[in-house]
Amino acid sequence: MAKVKITGHASGTGVVTITAPNTSTDRTITLPDGTGTLLDENSSLPAANLTGTVADARISALTASKLTGTIADARFPATLPAASGVNLTALPAGNLTGTVADARISALTASKLTGALPAIDGASLTGGVGLLVASGSINGGVQSPTSASAQTHTVFTFTMPANKTKVVISGSWSYYSYQSSNGWCLSKFEFTTNTGSLSQQASQWDGEQKSGTGSNNNHGGHAQDTTLTGVSAGTSVTISLVMTPYNSASCWGYYQYSQCTAIAY
């Protein structure tokens, strides 16, 4: 039978007392089969001597430097807590999702752009940049030989854009005249606004004289460039081709094709 031996310390003078608890139940204390020192609440236990799992409640203020290996996905919550990324650097652009706000983009070089730029309204451009405000064509119109007054054929109407001070009108047309006696058929582009005729409208008529007593067909081609100034923004301007007989109401005028453009500056 093994024996229990209590040996006092050779240099000590104190008395060590073993006190039983206040209990009416028999207790048995089993000593380990090894040499060592009994621990109390003030003793230090080497971590290397721990086995099994330490409860979460026993772990406090664990520093990240103590972590090694890979943290399992299951250890991360479905939604990570809010954190500031102000000090993050070297983030791979390939990991970005969503949309980057304009304010976060600085000094973007044109070489990084792909695709087509969206349509841009040039109505407010200044500095001599021309803006095509209208273009159009008409094909086939006649000046009656029985009418001595001018006949008007509208090509297009446009509205004067903002921040523009003048409009350059360029037009061309071809026509032929038919008559049975001497006479003229004259034509020109005319410009009118919703408040009346423009003072800058062209006053130069282009035409061909058809001479002789028999039936004659004479062809003519004409062009006209005019600059309109002083037209207020929002003003509606109508471009028309006007034809009229001159010196003889028996002269037909028939234009075959008319083309005109308006560019604002």
Given this model, what pLDDT does residue 26 score? 93
| CB atoms near residue 125 (< 10 Å) | 16
Strands (DSSP E) contained in 49-165 are 131-138, 141-143, 151-159
Q: What is the mean pLDDT of residues 91-98?
A: 84
* Of the ranges 11-20, 59-68, 121-130, 137-146, the best mean pLDDT one: 11-20
Residue 14, both tokens: 């104190």
Looking at per-residue pLDDT, the higher value among 68 and 143 belongs to: 68
Question: Three-state SS for 217?
Answer: strand
pLDDT above 80: residue 139: no
Distance set, CA 96 to CA 100, 109, 150, 155, 247 (Å): 9, 20, 70, 54, 80
pLDDT above 90: residue 22: yes
> Which residues does residue 190 pair with via DSSP β-bridges, in sequence order?
240
Given this model, what pLDDT does residue 203 score? 42
Q: How far apart are CA 204 and CA 185, in angstroms?
A: 13
pLDDT above 70: residue 254: no
Does the 134-264 domain belong in CATH 3.30.40? no
Q: Which amino acid is at 109?
A: T
